[in-house]
Structure formats: C-alpha cells, structure tokens
Amino acid sequence: QATAQPAARMFPFCGKCFNKLPFGYDNGLEWDDGVKPLATRDACTDGSQCKVRDQVHLKAFAHPFDLDYQSACARTGCQPEDLTLRTLFSWVDFDGSGKISRIELQNSLQTLESLFG
C-alpha cells in the first residue's frame, strides 16, 4: 500500500487523509530540511504578543493556538497563555493598536483557517 507524501513543508499533513494541519501537530513524518520536529519545539516567550511572524520562527517556536503550545511551555518553563478570544485578538492585532485592520485580518486568515477550518 503506497502512501502519498506532502509536496511542501508549509504545513504538516494528516497521515491518514493528508489534510493540512495547524502548526504544532506532530504526524511522525521525517523531514530532511533541518527544521526541528514540531513535538520538540520550545515556546516563544512573547506568546500572543510575538511580532516575529516569518516561517522560520513560526516553525521553530510554539505560539498560543499551536497544538504543541502547552507541552512547549512546560518544556521551556514558561506559563502558557489562556486560549481566549482576547489572546486571539492580540495575535491578530500585529501593531498593538487595539484595532484589527483589514491588512492584519488578511495576514491572519491562514492562522484563523487552520484553527477553525
């Protein structure tokens, strides 16, 4: 029985249905691109206030709403943030203005889609 492999490392994929999964899901696939496996990431100490959103940082560190965030916080020794609407708002409000602009919302759609389908 042959199994398909994901074409890109943009997202991990479910080993059964190959649907994309949010960051933090460890599906056990081996990758040879040198990126740390998601199950062993440390938590970003800035949490929902993190302003580093490049793919390298997001793959290297767990953030609120990543599936491995709780275990990463335990490994890092930091207190995990409660996963509330306020935490989600802080993540989307990139400039910290207290308002979500159209651009901030558009830039966050990928994260929101991975969370809520």
CA 113 to chain centre: 12
Contact present, 31 and 12 (Cβ < 8 Å) = no
Task: Give the number of other Cβ atoms within 10 Å of residue 59's Cβ.
Answer: 17
- Distance of alpha carbon 104 from alpha carbon 112, whole angstroms: 12
pLDDT tens-place string over residues 21-73 = 444 444 444 444 455 555 688 999 999 999 998 889 988 999 998 888 999 99
Q: Is-above-0.85 flag for pTM?
A: no
Task: Give the number of other Cβ atoms within 10 Å of residue 37's Cβ.
Answer: 13
